[in-house]
Structure 1
Amino acid sequence: MAIALGYNALVTRFNLAVPPLRQTFWLGARAAESRTQAPDGTERIELPRGRVSAEPSTVEQLTFALKREHLNLTVLGALFEHRPVLADIQEWLNSRPTSGYARRAGYLAHWLAGADFEYRAPAGSPRVRLLNADDYLVGPEMSSPQFAVVNNLLGSRAFSPLVRKTETLRGLLAEDLRAKVARAMDAIEPEMLSRAVDYLYLSETRSTYGIEDEVPDSSRAAKFRHLLEMAGESGVFDEEKLCEWQNLIVTPLSAESSYRTAQNWLSRPGRLRNMADFIPPPVEQVRPMMEAVGRVAAYAAEGMLDPMVAATCAAFGLVFVHPFFDGNGRLHRFLLHHVLRQSGFTPAGVVLPISARMLKRLDHYSSLLKSYSKPRTELLDYQLDGDSATIRVMSPQPLWLYAYFDATEMCEFMLQCCKLCVEEDLAAEVEYLRSHDRTVRELETWLDMRQSKLNSLIDIIVQGHGALSRRKRNFVEELTDEQVARIEEVVARHFAKYIDHQV
């Protein structure tokens, strides 16, 4: 029978109400280490007997977790609420005052739970860092003289995402997407870039609403475009600035002058469904969490963190906190552009079609959001009234449940989206415009048609991969079949490269 190890054992031993672990360690009966991955992506790792004692103590389990596993501040936050654990750590510090793992445990118990220990690191104790920079992206360093521990986490106690240096993430960061953006912009003549950017603004606006399965009217679309044009303003965003942004993109009835003052929740529509898909943090946590989110966003402009990583952590942090009753999703996606432009990753006035890329991979994007929201909401006991108009949450909603999460896959996803925006989407739009100009010049030598109608006709034929469908034939009923065939040939010839790329 396998014996649970590390976080896995601590969760069971203290009955911790935390989201399920993505990776669990066990002491197995085999002579070699084995790894098994389930369809849902969770991994089970069995270690051979003899590597770990058969019945590890709480301190031994905590040592194993800190030594072998990814740092899990959520589990540790829940664990350090238990007084016997704090007593064990005090004894650990007394018996092994120079132990790096004991000092990390003591510091984290103090940082996460406010625990006090009668301890001070002996003189000459080597400082230990919470995160190994070879394995994680790290933040600015803050030293604790008491424990001789250096806190280099991303963020603060109120909000601290974790980003692991996976092989995928290392590869994406090594591509230097900021330089690729700069080279792509320099390669496009100013007039052409201006026209391309105009379309990209339109595409980004439509896509951000498309993700929410909405089609905005011209007024709402214009407001969101105006907000996109404001991206990159100097200064750290705060409550006043976020309210200003929120007021720009919602109806006057939904405009808010401060962060929310009541518990909100998300539910999918459905008759008598009466279920919450996500219950964000309680009101008292919103302001400190959002202040910490703003601090992480500032890392980009300060050069302390890759801009796309900082933008991702901050943007997903905002949507997880859900500081408003309306507009959170659009603000979440806008914040990506704000951080990127503020850091100089994207030039002033230029917007990458990130939401358009997210829309193309909507299932993946949705799964990333649910990986945070679903396991946390499933831990809560709540009650919605019969009309799903009010909610009462009966369970505790501790800070550690919301403030910490692994953002690695989110960063990988957003870096991949950004990479495709630069390498494919921007190039495709420029190719479209150049093909369009060549097509118009050739057709205007013999075709007398209003410019706006000609533009629409070209677009329709391109969408039809070089052919005008029978359903759209009445759009140019004044033309003969021979003329339509000639137009199709011209469009197909000039747009061949663009159409091949889209298929």
Structure 2
Amino acid sequence: MSVHYCGYEWLKRAYKLDLDSPNPVSKVGGAKSPDSRIFRSEYQPEDTLAGHLLFALKHENMNLGILKALFNACDKKELEQWISENPQGQQTRRTWFLYEWLTGKELNLPDADTKFRYVDALDEKSYYTADKINSPRHKVRNNMPGVPTFCWLVRKTAAMKAFDAKQLHKQMADAYSTHPMIGRAEAFLLTKDSQSSFEIEKEKFDNRAVRWMKTVRAFMGSRLDDAKLFEMQKQLVSNPDNGWRADFGWIGDRLPDATPLPEHISAHPESLKELMDAWLKAYSLMFERHPVAAATALAYGFIIIHPFTDGNGRIHRFILHQLGKVPVSSELLESIDDYIASLKKLSAPILDRSEWTVTADYNVELINDTTELYRYADATEQAEFIYKCIEQFVTHRLPLELEYLSAFDEAKRIIDDAHDMPDKDLTLLVNLCVQNEGVLSNKKRKLFEQLSDDNIAFAEKTVKEAFTDYFRMKG
């Protein structure tokens, strides 16, 4: 049976659009495969711009990168004719709006009839969106989760809807907001999150990390702007950029002769101001929207652009925490392979389309213009992964930490009542016992020469009893 490509794939081939798509290829006929969707013959559209554009909008995931390239390549008179013949159609008005929104150019069409009912630019049953702003010209409600020059999408998949139904953020608030230990737990977890974020980068937790924690606390409740981002990088690295990165950037390894082996190519330094201005506008649009969708799209968009020479990863994880309302660096560290895979899934298509050469100082220099590749992406898989991390935090890490603090206070109180000790020594004793499942190791026994063997045995028994639930929960 012959194969007839449909939707985006037909448009790519017909208009010679050299772009990748994360979507499965749609076709009528041919063999089934993991990277294709087979439609029955009655779905086959006319081989026209309008036919396949309508098919894509109705049956495929939104791909803003392909749409923008298509709008710049096609004959706009053909679009104008299609829209004029179907002025009330939802998909024609969406197309009209998206054309003018993405390209910044107007089609030669009169404003939509005021009697038409408004239609959403993005279907809110299928996508996480921004607040609606009416566009009277098209009779379309602009709910795009970004701006024309930076807009990453997250779809409402079955997995995302299942996570939404669990109401993890509400669970956390209902269960723990009035817990007597919650303030201390939040402070401890913020420290642990910062430690994990540094560990992911294989960086020492030193005085810079302490400065970073203070910066995190200072900026967590306020909206970011370029000045705050510059200050964050300044607190992280010894040689800050004092602005956006001025040189080319890449992540990867090197051959023995120092030749770069990039796994990710950062956005061109000359594109950074415009890209980051757009990113900041999208950040403001989504600041109080769906926490996981917004956190994922903005945090992953940030790290893929890579606007700084150093410090991008830790700022990326700050954004995940700030917008996602949960510190997840410890979960990311525990699932480091999945985390790295989630990053590579977005960076690999950019690397494949980046043409670069090695400079005299062994840096990477981009030859082609790749700016468009950073503007649009589908971050749904990444959002599902981040949701899993948030669930792990809410259902395991936070209750575990609260139990730890309660048990810690109880053990300290009982031991202190029996053996009056300096607080720092008592704290150390309990910590060392907990680290070894309630037993003080022989190697650490010499730290407490002032205590008899009976005193140590009492402390061990007390810790085991106080931490029974903690050890059980920890597994």
- Give the TM-score range, shorter chain: 0.7 to 0.9
Selected match of 2:127 from 126, 136, 140: 136
CA contact under 8 A between 1:98 and 1:121: conserved in structure 2? no
- Of stretches 314-323 and 483-492 in structure 1, the one that deviates more from structure 2 is 483-492
Kindly indicate whether residue 231 of structure 2 is the aligned counterpart of residue 280 of structure 1: no
1:498 aligned onto 2:470 = yes
Pairing 1:259-274 to 2, within 5 Å after superposition: 259-268=244-253, 271=256, 272-274=258-260
2:276 maps to which residue? 290
- Structure 2 residue corresponding to 1:92, chosen from 74, 79, 82: 82
1:396 counterpart residue number: 369
**One-letter amino acid of the structure 1 residue matched with residue 141 of structure 2:** V
After superposition, what is the alpha-carbon deviation per residue over 1:156-175, rounded to whole angstroms, capped at 9, x for unaligned?
11211112112222232334
Gap change, CA 1:50 and 1:233, over 3 Å in 2: closer
User: For residue 438 of structure 1, what is the aligned residue in structure 2?
Assistant: 410
Q: Secondary structure at the match of 2:250?
A: coil
* 1:40 equivalent in structure 2: none
Q: Counterparts of 1:396 and 1:440 in 2: how far apart (Å)?
A: 62
1:215 aligned residue: 204
Q: Could you tell me which residue of structure 2 aligns to residue 369 of structure 1? A: 343
2:188 pairs with 1:199: yes
Q: 1:403 deviation in Å?
A: 1.0
2:242 maps to which of 242, 252, 257: 257
Cα RMSD of the aligned pairs, angstroms, is: 3.0
The structural deviation recorded for 1:375 is 1.0
Matches of 1:268 and 1:502, distance apart in 2: 37
Residue identity opposite 2:123 in structure 1: N
* CA–CA distance in structure 2, aligned partners of residues 181 and 397 of structure 1: 42
Partner amino acid, structure 1, of 2:4: I
Unaligned runs of 5+ in 1: 38-42, 346-351
Relative to structure 1, the CA distance from residue 436 to residue 70 in structure 2 (aligned partners, 3 Å threshold; closer, same or farther) is same
Indicate whether 1:69 and 2:60 are aligned: yes
Aligned residues: 472
Query: Which secondary structure state, in structure 2, belongs to the residue aligned with residue 161 of structure 1?
Result: strand
The Cα shift of 1:463 comes to: 2.7
Question: Residue in 2 aligned with 1:2?
Answer: 3
Q: Which secondary structure state, in structure 2, belongs to the residue aligned with residue 119 of structure 1?
A: coil
Q: Which moved more, 1:154-163 or 1:88-97?
A: 88-97
Query: What's 2:36 paired with?
Result: 44
Q: Write the deviation string for residues 446-501 of structure 1: whole angstroms up to 9, x where unpaired.
A: 55765434433433332333345566566567877776555444322221211122
Contact 2:271 2:371 in 1 (8 A): no
Q: What displacement does 1:224 show?
A: 0.9
CA distance in 1, matches of 2:240, 2:215: 15
Deviation at 1:279, TM superposition (A): 1.9
Deviation at 1:426, TM superposition (A): 2.1
> What amino acid does structure 2 have at the position aligned with 1:230?
A
Q: Deviations over 1:352-390 (max 9, x none)?
A: 54211221122222222212111112111111236523x
> How is 1:121-200 mapped onto 2 (pairs within 5 angstroms)?
123=113, 124-189=115-180, 192-200=181-189
Q: Retained in 2: the 8 A contact 1:203–1:353? A: no
Verify the 8 A CA contact 2:117 2:139 in the aligned structure 1.
yes
Q: Is the 8 A contact 2:102 2:149 kept in 1?
A: no
Of residues 53, 60, 63, the one that matches 2:51 is 60
Paired position in structure 1 for 2:107: 117
- CA distance in 2: counterparts of 1:476 and 1:10, whole angstroms: 75
1:387-411: CA deviation from partner (whole Å, max 9, x where unpaired): 523x321122243x21111122333
The two structures have a TM-score, normalised by structure 2, of 0.88
Mark the CA change 1:102 to 1:197 in structure 2 (over 3 Å): closer, same or farther.
closer
Tell me which stretches of 4 or more aligned residues in structure 1 moved more than 6 Å: 477-483
SS at structure 2 position matched to 1:80: helix
2:306 corresponds in structure 1 to: 322
Letter in 2 for 1:296: A
- Give the whole-Å Cα distance in 2 for the aligned partners of 1:331 and 1:437: 34
Give the structure-1-normalised TM-score.
0.84
The answer (yes or no) to whether the contact 2:354–2:368 under 8 Å persists in 1 is: yes
Quote the Cα distance in structure 1 between the aligned partners of 2:444 and 2:7: 64
